[in-house]
Amino acid sequence: MASSESFCRIERDEVQDVQMSRAQRTSPARPTIRDVAAEAGVSVSSVSRVLNGGPHISPELHTRIMRVVSRLGFEPHSAAQALRSRATNTVGCMVSDLSNPLYSDMVNAAEEELQRAGYVLMLGATRHEEARETAFVSAVRRRRMDGLLLFAGDNSHKDFNAALATLDMPCVGIDRDVPGAPGVRADHRGGGLEVTRYLIGLGHRRIALLTAPATLLPSTERLAGYRQAHAEAGLEVDPDLVRPQTHGSSIAFSDVCQLLQSPNRPTAIITLGTHMLAGVMEALASNAIRYPHDISLVCVGDTDLARHATPAISSLTWDLNEMGRTAAKILLAKIRDGDKAPDVRPIHLPTRFLLRHSCAEPPSL
């Protein structure tokens, strides 16, 4: 036999069901496209053409219909629109590390450009894991997105590359080689060359380079510039001074401590300006080494840490907002024009070397 508590709970549930039913009956119906057409005194097809950006629409008709749309609070059904137009007005964006402020600036700029064009950006963070990359590509395909922005990632991931090759939609690479797709990148080779030349010009002959793994395009290009500057000066590159880093500050700390404690330690360090820079600065402090008095320091990527350190750190930078905007504009053109869109060669944005107070002539060791 049911307890009195059970009967009370059933009665409460029934009351809630009745209340919900009444609310549903009394809630205003969602306005339809027919309501908009009737209110504006036009045909349904005219409303549809205005909402979908169709041709041959007079400014007066557009204004009249959009006023009614706003007054009624009409919202087109996105799923139905997608079925009719085969477009979802969504763009995928794959980044490796959301905590990297360089990525966030570029993503924000791209999102603003896409939003102005009526697109929603769907962001996926992969943490440099191939399984996450492949899963994101699958999600882009399932959701029938209209295009994909791909930020710098590991070009050695075979499963991901295979999945990407079967993705039949416009893609744009940002600091990344995407076969058959246009790309936007910073001139990392020229930047690495400029910074290394500068340090060599100050008299440095042992310059450590801490950068991301060589499977990432920016690292490959930066290392090429570093090697070119040494070759121009007739200097050999000590392989022990080139330290590819995984993503974080702990390995940078360990590597720099090892370098600083060696008999022939470096007199200058070039490092990424995000997590790695924090590890480098911690290692310098732990070994009682000051910059620029004991060692020169340059970072790639002008971050808050570089700007607000004491003294401020010289940085290699580029226009992050322009990179994000340019990539979004290229993708929108590919979405709009399809195969008719002109082929775009990789666009290289220049780098700038910001000199601050972290570099000096090498000390006598």
Class of domain 88-186+321-348: alpha beta
The per-residue pLDDT of the chain, averaged, comes to: 85
Instruction: Give the model's pLDDT for residue 87.
Output: 72
pLDDT at 21 over 60: no
* 32-66 and 188-318 share one fold: no
pTM of the predicted protein model: 0.75
Instruction: Give the model's pLDDT for residue 154.
Output: 86
Strand partners, 93: 123, 149
CATH level 2 (architecture), domain 188-318: 3-Layer(aba) Sandwich (3.40)
**CA 329, CA 356: separation in Å to the nearest integer?**
34
Tens digit of pLDDT for each residue in 99-125? 888 898 999 999 999 999 999 999 999
Compute CA distances 59 → 50, 56, 128, whole Å.
10, 10, 49
What are the sequence ranges of the domains in the chain? Answer: 32-66, 88-186+321-348, 188-318
Tens digit of pLDDT for each residue in 239-257? 999 998 776 567 789 999 9
Report the amino acid identity of residue 90.
T
Tens digit of pLDDT for each residue in 90-104? 999 999 888 888 898
pLDDT at 297 over 60: yes
**CA 39, CA 94: separation in Å to the nearest integer?**
43
pLDDT at 130 over 60: yes
Tens digit of pLDDT for each residue in 184-222? 999 999 999 999 999 999 999 999 999 888 889 999 999
pLDDT bin (cut points 50, 70, 90) of residue 180 is confident
How is residue 45 written in tokens? 């097809």
CATH level 2 (architecture), domain 32-66: Orthogonal Bundle (1.10)
